[in-house]
Every structure is written in C-alpha cells, then in structure tokens.
Amino acid sequence: MGPIGAGLAALGAGIGIGLIGSKAMEAIARQPEAAGDIRSNMILVAALVEGAALFAIVVGLLG
C-alpha cells in the first residue's frame, strides 16, 4: 500500500505544481515586467505544495 500512496501523493503534487506553473505563465504573459516577482513567488508556492507531497511520500514509503 505504501508505494501506491506515494504515487498518489506525487499525482496530487503534480496537479498542484502544474496549476501553479500554468497560472504563473499566464501572469507573466499578461505582465512581463513583473516576471521576476512572479517567478520567485511561484517557486515558493511550488515548494510549499511539494512539501505536503513529500510528507505523504516519506510516510508512504517508511510507514
């Protein structure tokens, strides 16, 4: 069951980070002059989403 849970967690993180990326790209396209700010915030939020997924992966693989 552990590896299946880890896979599901990766799926969720993939969707989450994909949404962040797509919105960030849209925002950069609309406002290219704010690209720097948007990029660093994008990485920050992606890291937070990824953190939740990594919790699940570590628990799934070790538990």
Contact status, residue 18 vs residue 55, Cβ threshold 8 Å: no
Token pair of 55, please?
């919790």
Q: How many contiguous H segments (helices) and E segments (strands) does the chain have?
A: 2, 0
Nearest CB to other proteins, comparing residues 11 and 58: 58
Is 22 near other proteins (CB under 8 A)? no
Q: How far apart are CA 15 and CA 38, in angstroms?
A: 19
Nearest CB to other proteins, comparing residues 27 and 41: 41
Nearest CB to other proteins, comparing residues 14 and 51: 51
Is 44 near other proteins (CB under 8 A)? yes
Is 7 near other proteins (CB under 8 A)? no
